Amino acid sequence: TQHNVILEPEPWGLPLNEILLPERLNKLGYTSHAVGKWHLGYFKKAYTPTYRGFKSFYGFWNGYQDYYTHMVQATFASFEGFDMRRDLNPDWSSVGKYSTHLFTKEATDIISKHNNSVPLFLYLAHLAPHAGTYENPLQAPQEDINKFQSIKDKNRRKYAGMITNLDDSVAEVFNALHTNNMLDNTIFIFVSDNGAPTNGIHRNHGSNWPLKGEKATPWEGGIRTAAFVWSKLLTKRKTLPNQLMHISDWLPTLYEAAGGNTKDLGAIDGISMWKSFLNSKKSPRKQVLHNIDDITGYAAIRDTNFKYIKGSTFLGYLDYWSGSLSPSALNYNVDAVLNSTTASILSKINGDPLTSSLIASLRNSSTVRCDFEKDMRPCKPFSKPCLFHIVKDPCEQVNLNYKPNSKIRKFVEAKIDYFETSLEKFRESASKPMNVRGTKDANPALYNNTWVNWEDQKSI
């Protein structure tokens, strides 16, 4: 179960008895590097990346930072401090340089210097497009913002500037792998950790439309994210699989792909998807626990085609559809894709170039469409649980538990009983949330205005 995230002055982190993916891969002969966001705890150095399996780390320990000053404001405290590190040491030379550029350069440098005879695991967790500071959440080089004068909303224009730098980063990393002759045996994964925060704290004006909800909610807008996997090892590429997968599945999937035996991982929640990826076979996963948060008072779970929600976050403040876009905003520049660096590389190594018709087909197949003119069956999750056929109803418009007629009443009741039983089973084995109160000992003002491993500092 999870309740909130690790806030800046809180003395806790991912438990040290948890063995992370880089530690697993290192035993298979890999060299592992981390770039960008950490956000798994740093109050003691034992919780930081280079003590959790990574040979090197360049990035920030907290959940976000200013893109240029690399200062971090505490979310619910008056603390502020610098947070950009090379391993354990502050990198003051980074001040004034754009975070996305810094992380891209670090990633491409790691690739270019890497000895190809040794397998590489590179974890690149970009800041973009997360909001920067409260006063200046949307930050990008002005010349990139200026490219999008056709976008009338100034915030969306800035957001586009942030995204184009992220897009360029993907191309540069892919090109570095190509230049270093590493693509023949590479698995390239692009994935987001949550939906856009269209409103509320740290809003970045991203859109999850037409899905309901946003980041930090149990609705599809908060949990259904964009992702792709590319590898020459895959027998079927340029496809759109409709596979059920949970973020915990990455550990066994990549461990198996690297040659490991998933039985060595012991009792874990994740399921390896590697065989499904290789041959486009059906996903072995049938059920996904989205979360149980008994502190906030909500739970969400999916089993095959059905999704169950009981309670919600923020007292239901974000339980609606937001971020609708004008038709012109949905226009897609196919030529830009066809002429991109990545497309050029793919055409050379695959001998099977992208076409405008294929791009149009994939976009059409991946587009979620919902009819907001039809009658909805409302969901009030604080009053009674809600049930959705999430495959037919991805926008969560038809709550099957809202005044069910006699034809489906028994079916709905049986499904609700099943989900309640499943949630209780998860509760029996679940770890409790580890959140603890923040401490004034973490105040960066005590340490040259820098976020540090303050518990270690106290013992010096």
- List pLDDT tens digits, range 315-352: 999 999 998 877 666 678 899 999 999 999 998 887 77
56-60 and 31-37 strand pairing: parallel
Q: How far apart are CA 280 and CA 240, in angstroms?
A: 10
The residues that bridge with 298 in the sheet, in sequence order, are 293
Per-residue pLDDT of the chain in tens (460 residues, 90 and over written 9) = 789 999 999 999 999 999 999 999 999 999 999 999 999 999 999 999 999 999 999 999 999 999 999 999 999 889 999 999 999 999 999 999 999 999 999 999 999 999 999 999 999 999 999 999 999 999 999 999 999 999 999 999 999 999 999 999 999 999 999 999 999 999 999 999 999 999 988 899 999 999 999 999 999 999 999 899 999 999 888 888 888 999 999 999 999 999 999 999 999 999 999 999 998 788 999 999 999 999 999 999 999 999 999 999 999 999 999 988 776 666 788 999 999 999 999 988 877 788 999 998 999 999 999 988 888 899 999 999 999 999 999 999 999 999 988 899 999 999 999 999 999 999 999 999 999 999 999 999 999 999 999 999 876 6
pLDDT of residue 373: 82
- Those residues whose C-beta lies under 8 Å from the C-beta of residue 344, and which sit 6 or more positions away, are none
**Partner residues linked to 57 by β-bridges:** 34
Say if 381 falls within a structural domain. no
Burial 183-207 (b: 16+ CB within 10 A, else e): beebbbeeeeebbbbbeeebbbbbb
Taking the CB of residue 154, how many other CB atoms lie within 10 A of it? 11
Confirm whether 383 is domain-assigned.
no
Structure tokens at 155: 């915030």
Give the distance from CA 448 to its chain's centroid. Answer: 32
* Residue 233 belongs to some domain of the structure: yes
Structurally, the chain folds into a number of domains equal to 1
- Which domain, by its residues, includes 224? 21-286+335-368+433-458
In a domain, 97, yes or no: yes
Distant-in-sequence, close-in-space partners of 226: CB < 8 Å, separation ≥ 6: 190, 191, 192
Q: What are phi and psi of 58, to 5 degrees?
A: -135, 115
Closest CA to 47 of 74, 26, 20: 20
C-alpha 305/C-alpha 241 separation (Å) is: 15
Handedness of CA 44, 50, 54, 60 (dihedral sign): positive
Q: What are phi and psi of 355, to 5 degrees?
A: -130, 155
Spatial distance between the Cα atoms of 32 and 194, rounded to a whole number of angstroms: 24
User: From CA 98, how far away is CA 207, in angstroms rounded?
Assistant: 24
Most distant CA atoms of the chain, gap in Å: 70
Question: Measured between alpha carbons, how far is residue 114 from residues 109, 117, 442 in Å?
Answer: 8, 9, 36
Whether residue 382 lies inside any domain: the answer is no
Q: In angstroms, rounded to a whole number, what is the distance separating the alpha carbons of residues 215 and 199?
A: 9
CATH number, residue 440: 3.40.720.10
Token pair recorded at residue 162:
């942030």
Q: Quick count: other Cβ atoms within 10 Å of Cβ 214?
A: 26
Q: By the 8 A CB rule, do 433 and 21 touch?
A: no
Q: Does any domain span residue 311?
A: no
> Which pTM value belongs to this model?
0.95
291 part of a folded domain? no
Distances (CA, A) of 225 to 193, 203, 270: 7, 17, 18
* Domain-located, residue 180: yes
CB 331 within 8 A of CB 349: no
Specify which residues 73 forms β-bridges with: 80
Per this entry, what is the length of the chain?
A: 460
* Cβ contact 36:103 at 8 Å: yes
In whole angstroms, what is the distance from residue 56 CA to residue 106 CA? 11
